[in-house]
Amino acid sequence: MSVDDLGGRLPLYDGEALNPAQKELYDWLMTVAVPWAEDAKFEARTENGRLIGPFNAALLNPAISSALMELAVAEQTNTSLSKRSREVIILTVGAVWRAPYELYAHSAVARHVGLSDDAVQTLAEGGLPKDLTAAEAIVHRVARALSLEHCLDEALYREAEALLGAEGIMETAILTGMYHTVCAILNAFEIPAPPS
């Protein structure tokens, strides 16, 4: 796979050839999202500074993409969910969508926050790992039910409520929905994971 293929159906946009709104978003992504990705050990840009993954696609509509980024920051900074539980949710959604870049990126993030290799692989394949905490297992089940059935049956709701409270269910639903959006973008443009 060549670098040019990393955009999927999109070209990789040149940071020097953007309109002002795109450039503002590009600069924010390069100073916030790219360092976060590098810290978690996954690629979010090419060696020549072109964004990849959902970050490149975000440049198509900077106004909406900026609002999505603000939502992501608000979710990360105001959630009661642990970092591990968040990654369980994200990988659960990615497995439903079979979104290669999302699974690639968040497998790295999940390992970075302490999920085992076996847990990451099982989640990426759509399964329920044996080594999750009770809270991690319930967010997986909730995210999967919302993703596949679009509802929670009474028994699952009550179990989740006992472990997470209504606030935790709300936060799980928000994060699930956010990553449906990310995966829809990735799959619409057939955005691949970079070669390993």
pLDDT band at residue 80 using 50, 70 and 90 as cut-offs: very high
Q: What is the pLDDT of residues 83-107, one digit of tens each?
A: 999 999 999 999 999 999 999 999 9
pLDDT for position 114: 98
Does pTM surpass 0.85? yes
Residue 194 has pLDDT above 80, yes or no: yes
Measured CA to CA, the distance from residue 16 to residue 98 in angstroms comes to 33
Query: CB–CB of 105/53 below 8 Å?
Result: yes
Homologous superfamily in CATH for domain 81-188: AhpD-like (1.20.1290.10)
Query: CB–CB of 91/132 below 8 Å?
Result: no
Q: Helix, strand or coil for residue 45?
A: strand
Query: CB–CB of 45/16 below 8 Å?
Result: no
Both tokens of residue 121? 């692989």
Domain boundaries, the chain: 3-77, 81-188
Residue range 178-190: mean pLDDT, rounded: 99
Q: What is the pLDDT of residues 113-146, one digit of tens each?
A: 999 999 999 999 999 999 999 999 999 999 999 9
Residue 111 has pLDDT above 90, yes or no: yes
